[in-house]
A and B are shown apart, each in its own frame.
Chain A
Amino acid sequence: MSPRGAATREPMQKPRRFIASARTNLPVWSDLSWDAAPASVDAAGRGFVLVGVGAGTAPVIEAWRQGVGAWPCIAWVETGDLADAAVSTRFGAALESMVVGWRLMLAGPPAEIMVLAAQARRTGLLDEEIRLHVLEDGRVRVQCAHCKTLFRATAEPGDIVTCPGCGQNILVHQHFSRHLGAFVGFSADVEGEP
């Protein structure tokens, strides 16, 4: 995903407790959004797995498939319940069928494809073997620092959401783990304005 995933970002304007940071590890999607052209197919690849999440990604996957040409290719679009364990199982089986020389390309909302990219890295893929095309939908994954529940929410860093695990109001922090595919959130209530 690098270099895009690790690029720098303008200081956050909105969050009340955050400090400007030139190197926040927020994923940067500005050049990979709806209206941008999808990432190109890596000409060095000798085989491809292409996965779209959401029906809206079908055109992207089809364009990629054309770009792959004659190399071996496994491609599909997930349209059902994304929380379904079957998504991860299907994806895992495709990863196991890859040999070195292949590339992975993912298209879809960030909360979903960051999770799949993390699963791919755990299987042994390197950043330079993964290309992403993000279709922003305003949803993120958050891990509650206190009860460790991982959940999806419509939010961005600086917003306050309710943790479905412990019920606390959780501030979404500008700290993102690519390993978990999630932002960290912590209690928004214990340290009111003095």
Chain B
Amino acid sequence: MTRGRQTAELRITHAEEVAPGVRSLILRPVAGGALPSFAPGSHIALSCGGQVNAYSLTNDGHDPDHYAISVRRQDDGRGGSVWLHNAPVGTVVDGAAPRCDFGPVRTARRHLLISAGIGLTPFLSYLRLVPRWGHAMQMLHVAPYGAVIPHLAELQDLAGPGNFQLARGRQAFAAALERALHSQPMGTHLYICGPAGFMDDVLAKAQAAGWPQARCHIERFGAAQSVSGQAFTAVLARSGRVVEVAAETSLLDALEEAGVSWPALCRNGVCGECRMDGVSGEITHHDFVLDDAERASGTCLMPCVSRARGGLSLICRESAMQPGPAYREASAQGTMRCQAALPGQVPPAPAPDAGRLPAAERQVPGLQPGLHASRFPWPFSADHYAYSANVEPAPGCVRTAAGAWGATILDVDGEYERELAERSAILQRDLSRYASLEHMREAGWDALLWGLRELAASNPTMRLERRGEAYEWTNPRLKTTQVFRYGDDSTLPMPPLMYLASQVQEDVVLLDQREGQLWVDAGCVTFASNWSMAFDAGMSFMEIHGPIPHDYADGAIPRAQQFLMRLQPGQVFRRLNWTSTAGYRLDTALDSYDQWGATRTAMARDPALAAFHMRVEVQHLIRLPRSGAIMFLIRTYLLPLADILGVPQWRAQFAAVLQTLPPDLAQYKGLGTIRQPLLRVLAGAERA
């Protein structure tokens, strides 16, 4: 299967005819072990006899050891369902990682589920939210008189008394639907699944009853996989080579499998890295990079997401372009994890003692020359500045002029104990650094479990063990052991998201996706760079980025949002962001600006700018599997100016970037008044 997507071999271990023409299958991993968790409404794409079909997962998506689907036999279909009906127990099928394009809206005060035929399957997983998280759900299913309803007893049981209604025949359904649509309390969302004509009919009735489009959600399997499409043929014009691109494969993946290297970063049509010029053919564009004129030209495309009908001719510099080292290391892992890229090449963590100096003593830069530089994520690779989304797959070790960074997603270093103590002290005096809107409780638990698993996977001494419904977390670095039950807040000393932030050096923000955008609805952020979690909680992604200077934000921020909304479970991406700080100071939140703001003025008065620190955030972006929320991890690193001066390549690059930085961005990054003095210091070190 292709590199861009996680797949697994699954064996049919149980099969049962649950209604005439409906076969339920249990699929377990051939390799054994656990399967990826999934959100309600998720589906799985299965290769069934030459076809790829998508089926709703009907079991509980929390750490499942199997996937359950129910397949209606379609004798007039393309053959996939018939193949699955005939497949004996023991048959092995290829399954892609679950995707969710039909998840419940987390802010809904109530969920109204309407289905017909086999369309009830996604709602089996929806209704499992009722006992676990207390969601209010009402389901209405229509079936012909006398028809056997698959999973009827289970649906009634999960929904609870009075919340599952079965309408026999069109008239009974029309009356029940009318009643349901006119009596839902404000804040209810509507979900429809069934044959296309049925969904259109219910949608039309909802709109006639005044339901806005944004409250109505339908499951259309046809549109579920936008990157795939029809198979086509690519011809490499110079060599005449022919590369077949299968329906489920991207052009980029097909080229790579054929041994053609091509530069690529995000593989989601956002970053623009894989742009191909000089192509000809009937192109269907799915990217967020090209403008209308470029699309109309018909001569360029992004092979990671865009396709062609029939044939496509490429002028492919087959060996001329090689990906850079950062890309190669990251992509060698694909979307799967590699916990320690390049073992032996990553410098060892600094001695524990070195990181434990009180913050006040660290105001003097260069106290421990080289300590910060060796693991510092140096943000520049060129001699000029460009604002971009600059996303790349994570993790992946990147070597710098002074060391390396990026081998793991969560970075536990010599500052671990000191930074977590500082975070705890900040929360003690200002609890508003933690915020979580009511609907983010489940996402908080999802984040905690993901984070502790990741910590345990990348730190040999830390352990997370499951004991039935309970988990035991052991962290020798903090001398702590904690037993908790997933979803039960009373089993933790603090809310789950805050508990995660007590175990990782990263700040954590959780984004909810609804109404076609992202919302910053929870976070535990003690080391913010001049913003306030308390004030920004509840804002949309676009609103939170409002203060970013215009030309840069115009393209990059909407593109970043589009990219994030397409992020699938199991994918992890990262980007870097840089600014400056006076002194070795992690807490530069807007909330405490009245305490630290004066340090900036003091720094600027010193011609040597001795207090200047470069501040780099390594930001990771992760789609959480169960809640569908996006986790945004922000890890802050500070590098004293003296350490920059100590690395000739960094000194030269920083000076070049400063010279080309537009004035409004310089001001945004806190460099407005100190840019010229900084350039003088950098030049002076050069001469010396």
Contacts and interface: CB of A to CB of B under 8 A. Distances in A.
A145 B593 contact: yes
Interface string A159-194: 000000000100001111111100010110011101
Given A25-B542, A175-B547, A179-B538, A194 B593 contact: no
A187 B595 CA distance: 9
Given A20-B549, A21-B547, A23-B545, A190 B214 contact: no
Contacts of B153: none
A128 B215 CA distance: 10
B369 to A, nearest CB: 28
Interface in B565-595: 590-594
Contact of A19 (B213, B535, B549, B604): B549
A98 interface: yes
B185 to A, nearest CB: 6
Contacts of B536: 177
A184 B590 contact: yes
A22 B554 contact: yes
Interface string A15-50: 000011111111000000000000000001111000
Interface residues of A, number: 49
B592 A129 contact: no
B550 A124 contact: no
Interface in A52-109: 95-96, 98-103
B325 interface: no
A148 B433 CA distance: 11
Contact of B182 (A11, A20, A26, A99): A99
B164 interface: no
Given A95-B186, A99-B183, A22 B551 contact: yes
B88 interface: no
A105 to B, nearest CB: 14
A148 B667 CA distance: 26
A141 B553 CA distance: 27
A153 interface: no
B673 A194 contact: yes
Contact of A20 (B185, B550, B601): B550
A194 B597 CA distance: 12
Interface stretch (B90-98, B204-212, B307-315, B404-412): B204-212
Contact of B590 (A101, A125, A145): A145
Most buried by A among B554, B557, B594, B600: B594
Given A22-B553, A124-B108, A174 B209 contact: no
Given A23-B557, A179-B539, A126 B214 contact: yes
B598 interface: yes
Contact of A23 (B535, B538, B546): B546
B553 to A, nearest CB: 6
B543 interface: yes
Contacts of B543: 6, 25, 176-178
Given A21-B547, A100-B211, A101-B210, A148 B107 contact: no
Given A21-B547, A126-B212, A143 B184 contact: no
A101 B532 contact: no
Interface string A96-135: 1011111100000000000000000001111111000000
Contacts of B544: 25
B154 interface: no
A191 B600 contact: yes
B188 A190 contact: no
A148 B547 contact: no
A46 B210 contact: yes
B668 interface: yes
A171 to B, nearest CB: 10
B607 interface: no
Contacts of A139: none
A100 B205 CA distance: 13
Contacts of A177: 535-536, 538-539, 543
A4 interface: no
B537 to A, nearest CB: 7
B357 interface: no
A22 B550 contact: yes
Nearest to B213: A128
Contact of A100 (B184, B538, B550): B184
Contact of B597 (A21, A129, A180, A187): A187
Contacts of B597: 187, 190-191
Contacts of A96: 185-186
B188 A100 contact: yes
A35 B250 CA distance: 55
B532 A124 contact: no
A155 B207 CA distance: 42
B596 to A, nearest CB: 8
24 contacts: A21-B550, A23-B553, A25-B539, A25-B546, A46-B210, A100-B181, A100-B186, A124-B186, A126-B214, A126-B515, A128-B213, A143-B535, A145-B590, A145-B591, A146-B591, A176-B543, A178-B539, A179-B538, A184-B532, A186-B590, A186-B593, A190-B593, A191-B601, A194-B601
Interface of A: 6, 11, 19-26, 44-47, 95-96, 98-103, 123-129, 143, 145-146, 148, 168, 173-180, 184, 186-187, 190-192, 194
Interface of B: 107-109, 181-188, 190, 207, 209-215, 432, 515, 532, 534-539, 542-551, 553-554, 557, 590-594, 597-598, 600-601, 604-605, 664, 667-668, 673
Given A21-B553, A191-B597, 10 more contacts: A6-B542, A21-B549, A23-B548, A25-B543, A100-B186, A101-B211, A126-B215, A145-B590, A177-B538, A179-B537
